[in-house]
Structure formats: C-alpha cells, structure tokens
C-alpha cells in the first residue's frame, strides 16, 4: 500500500470519527421527550375550516350547520360575523346567546363541532424527511406513532433517531427516536403529543 493510499484512508477514518461524534453529540444534547403528558387534556378550540352545528333551542329556523370561514368568523341568521376561531364550543355558544338575546328572549344555544381542523396554533406539524410532511389536527391522546402513521413514516434519507420535537407549550426542544419506534418496535420511544408540537426529521449524513 502506497503512502498516498494510507493518507487517504487515514483522512477518511478521521472524517468518519468526527461525523459519528457530531451525530452522537446532536443526539445527546437534547433531553428525551416526556413519554406521557401531565394528564391534563386541553379543551378543543375551533379553527378555520371546522364545521359547527349551531342548535338554538325552540328556534329550529335559527339552527343550522355552518363552516368557520378562513377569517375565523361564522355567520348565522340574525347574527353576522361572530368570531369563532380559538374559542371552545361552549364559549361560542355563550357569545351567540348574547348576540341573539337582542332578537329572542332567553336564547339557549348549543354548538357541536362536526368537522375537525382546529386553529393553526393547535395543529401538529411534521417537517423534513417524512414521507408526506404535513400539518395534522391534534387529537386527544395522540402519540408519536399516530403522527408517523398519518405522514407515512420517514423516507429513505431520514435520520429518525436524530429527530427533534419542538414543544410550543413550554418552548422546549426534545430528542425523539423515530427509527427505534418504527423499525425496531421500541414502544419506549412512543411519546404523547401536545397541541402545537412540531416534529423536525433531519436528513441522514451517511
């Protein structure tokens, strides 16, 4: 083996060690994501694109199903442009009762969400090397496995065990092990999601 070939191999070995060390450093710098949430479940907030069924007791002519417009408003008979986005169904019902009280006596309103999208701040976003990066509507008790099934897993270039979970709820970053979960069936890597989570899946370096 010539001197030039030895130098090439030594250089490649050094690069490999540096790359592995950097990868290990990236993986260990972030704390692992909490497996379970704190037990509290956030109330569902209405968002643009949701469908809401508005029921006005004893007033069927005022009861109907309407979409939440892109500007977050809903329009019903007698009441126009009522803000609905980022409110719970109960909060929207109380607002409609207040608005309708100008026209009918002691209105009783129930709001039922029939199409679930939710506000953007509550959606879960998956970016990077997922098979189908996208934003998903948050569901109660949704887990990392549920999210990865929805986006079709990772692509061939993903470094799943170096993925990062950005949690807007507490402005923290966590490391997550998507490869261990999907390829090894390691359920200890399955973590509960929270509204507003962002999953970033980086590209593999080798």
168 in Cβ contact with 121 (< 8 Å) = yes
pLDDT of 13 reads 41
**What SS3 class is residue 169?**
coil
pLDDT digits (tens, 9 = 90+) for 28-66: 489 999 887 665 778 899 999 999 999 999 999 999 999
Q: Are residues 144 and 169 in the same domain?
A: yes
pLDDT tier at 26, thresholds 50, 70, 90: very low
| Residue finishing a domain among 115, 138, 153 | 115
User: CB burial class (10 A; 0-12, 13-18, 19+) of residue 122?
Assistant: buried
Residue ranges making up the domain that contains 78: 51-115
CATH number at residue 157: 3.10.560.10
pLDDT of 6 reads 41
d(CA 191, CA 141): 10
| Residue finishing a domain among 100, 115, 130 | 115
- SS3 string, 5-45, reads HHHHHHHHHHHHHHHHHHHHHHHHHCCECCCCCCCCCCCCC
Q: What percent of the chain has pLDDT over 90?
A: 74
pLDDT digits (tens, 9 = 90+) for 136-157: 999 989 999 999 999 999 999 9
pLDDT of 12 reads 39
Residue 40: inside a domain: no
Average pLDDT over residues 80-105: 96
Tokens of 84: 């609905």
Residue 136: inside a domain: yes
* Bridge partners, 198 (sequence order): 125, 166
Q: Are residues 59 and 96 in the same domain?
A: yes
pLDDT digits (tens, 9 = 90+) for 155-198: 999 999 999 999 998 999 999 999 999 999 999 999 999 999 99
Residue 7 above 50 pLDDT? no
Q: Are residues 134 and 196 in the same domain?
A: yes
- Total count of domains within the chain: 2
Q: How many CA atoms lie within 13 A of 90 on its CB side?
A: 2
CA distances from 24 to 19, 20, 146, 181 (A): 9, 6, 27, 18
């Amino acid at each position: 083996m010539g001197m030039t070939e030895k130098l090439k191999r030594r250089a490649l070995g050094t690069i490999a060690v540096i790359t592995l060390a950097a990868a290990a450093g990236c993986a260990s710098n972030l704390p692992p994501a909490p497996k379970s949430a704190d037990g509290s479940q956030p109330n569902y907030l209405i968002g643009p694109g949701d469908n809401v069924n508005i029921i006005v007791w004893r007033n069927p002519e005022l009861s109907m199903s309407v979409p939440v417009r892109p500007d977050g408003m809903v329009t019903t008979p007698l009441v126009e442009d009522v803000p609905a986005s980022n409110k719970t169904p109960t909060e929207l019902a109380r607002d409609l009762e207040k608005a309708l009280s100008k026209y009918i006596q002691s209105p009783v309103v129930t709001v039922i969400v029939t199409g679930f999208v939710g506000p953007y701040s509550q959606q879960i976003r998956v970016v990077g090397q997922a098979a189908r990066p996208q934003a998903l509507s948050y569901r109660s008790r949704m887990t990392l496995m549920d999210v990865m099934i929805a986006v079709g897993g990772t692509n061939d270039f993903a470094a799943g065990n170096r993925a990062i979970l950005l949690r807007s709820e507490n402005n923290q970053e966590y490391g997550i092990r998507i490869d261990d979960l999907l390829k090894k069936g390691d359920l200890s890597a399955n973590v509960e999601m929270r509204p507003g989570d962002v999953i970033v899946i980086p590209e593999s370096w080798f």
